[in-house]
Amino acid sequence: MRGMTPEREAQYRDGMRAAAAVGAAILRAGGSALDAATAAMVDMEDGGVFNAGLGSCLTTAGTVEMDAAVMRGSDRAIGAVAGVAELANPILAARAVMEHTPHCLLAAEGALAFARDQGLERRTDFPPAHRRAEWESKRATLEARAAGKSVEQGLAELGGVLGAQEDDPLGGDDHHDTVGAVAMDAQGRLAAAVTTGGIWLKMPGRVGDSPLPGAGFWAVDGHGAAVATGTGEYLMRVMICHEAVHFMRAGDDAQTACEAVVALLESEFGPDQGGLIAIDPQGRLGWAINTHGMGRAAWHAGMAEPAVAVWPEDDWDRPL
Residues marked active site are found at 178
Q: How far is the CB of 39 from ligand ASP (least distance, A)?
A: 21
CA atoms within 13 A of residue 3's CA, in its CB half-sphere? 7
CB of 234: closest distance to ligand ASP in angstroms? 9
Dist CA 143 CA 137 (whole Å): 10
CA distance 198 to 202: 7
Q: Which residues contact 287 (CB under 8 A, 6 or more apart)?
A: 255, 258, 275, 276, 277, 278, 294, 296
Q: Does 178 bind ligand ASP (CB under 6 A)?
A: yes
CA dist 94 → 59, 68, 90 (Å): 21, 6, 6
- From candidates 38, 56, 60, 210, binder to ligand ASP by CB under 6 A: 210
Residue 90 binds ligand ASP (CB under 6 A): no
Q: Counting contacts by CB under 6 A, is residue 60 touching ligand ASP? A: no
Task: Tell whether residue 196 is a contact of ligand ASP (CB under 6 A).
Answer: yes
Beta carbon nearer to ligand ASP, 26 or 181: 181
Classified as helix, coil or strand, 122 is strand
Alpha helix positions (H), 67-175? 90-100, 108-117, 129-145, 151-158
- From 5-13, 113-121, 195-203, 240-248, span contacting ligand ASP (CB under 6 A): 195-203
* 38, 229, 290, 291: residue in contact with ligand ASP (rule CB under 6 A): 229
CA dihedral 319, 301, 17, 84 (to 10 degrees): 140
- Does residue 53 interact with ligand ASP by CB under 6 A? no
- Binding flag, residue 59, ligand ASP (CB under 6 A): no
State which residue, 92 or 277, has the beta carbon closest to ligand ASP.
277
In DSSP notation, 284-299 reads: -EEEEESSS---EEE-
Q: Is 176 in the site for ligand ASP (CB under 6 A)?
A: yes
Residues binding ligand ASP: number (CB under 6 A): 15
State the residues that interact with ligand ASP by CB under 6 A: 51, 176-178, 196, 198-199, 208-210, 229-232, 235
